[in-house]
Amino acid sequence: MDRALLIKNLFGLLLEDRRQACIDFAEENYPFVESISQKRQYSKYQMCKVFLRDGFIDRYSGDKLLFPGLIRLLTLEFPDIFKYHKNWKMSDTHMIYWDLYPTIDHLIPIARGGNDNDINWVTTSMLHNSAKSLWTIEELGWNIHEKGQLNNWDGLVHYFIDFVNKNPEYMQDKYVYSWNLGLIRAIAELENE
């Protein structure tokens, strides 16, 4: 659909003083879609379930992503290299948080009529989530990539688990601890399916 041509047709009707025809045309071809504003916050468990389901693959690019707790361990181990700012200030946050940090996005944005459920949730990087914003993948010319297979790529969750088992003092970090709990619960549920 060429939206610029839709507006051209709409203005043609407007120039002909056919106001009701304009309204009917706009509502049929380029309507305003009202959405209900919802605060969305997901538990680490819910996010881990989606990341594991998608095989830690960015569904918009096909790129491999890393388990968030592992990225945090890198920051704790090497704070001068893998810098992090609590508000993700770009000048103070290493690009690993944008490039390889997974997050959940709504394939069909809530603001565009999408549902807030796991069927509409996909794994993507913070970079792609930010770029996509409230657009649909069709509007951006993007494609949805296949889910990954955990036996091929697991986001390095096993490195994370091995590292915190070897270095339990890192469990004192609330961020690491909460990601560990979410991961263990999601893995257990996956194994019981």
13, 25 Cβ separation under 8 angstroms: yes
Predicted local confidence at residue 29, as pLDDT: 87
Per-residue buried b or exposed e for 114-138, using 16+ beta carbons within 10 Å of the residue's own CB: beeeeeebbbbbbbbbeebeeeebe
Strand partners, 113: none
Rounded-to-integer distance, Cα 49 and Cα 122, Å: 11
Q: Are residues 22 and 57 in the same domain?
A: no
DSSP string of 8-19, one letter each residue:
HHHHHHHHTT-H
Element (H, E) at 27: helix 19-29
Predicted model pTM: 0.81
Q: Are residues 108 and 63 in the same domain?
A: yes
Strand partners, 64: 57
Q: Are residues 15 and 68 in the same domain?
A: no
What is the domain range of residue 55? 44-192
Predicted local confidence at residue 55, as pLDDT: 97
Report the number of distinct structural domains present in the chain: 2
Residue 7 lies in a domain: yes
Q: Are residues 118 and 26 in the same domain?
A: no
Predicted local confidence at residue 78, as pLDDT: 95
Residue 171 lies in a domain: yes
Q: Are residues 111 and 135 in the same domain?
A: yes
Q: In tens digits, what is the pLDDT along the chain, a chain of 193 residues?
A: 688 888 888 888 889 998 899 889 888 888 776 655 555 678 999 999 999 999 999 999 999 999 999 999 999 999 999 999 888 888 899 999 999 999 999 999 988 888 989 999 999 999 999 999 889 999 999 999 999 999 999 999 999 999 999 999 999 999 999 999 999 999 999 888 7
Predicted local confidence at residue 117, as pLDDT: 92
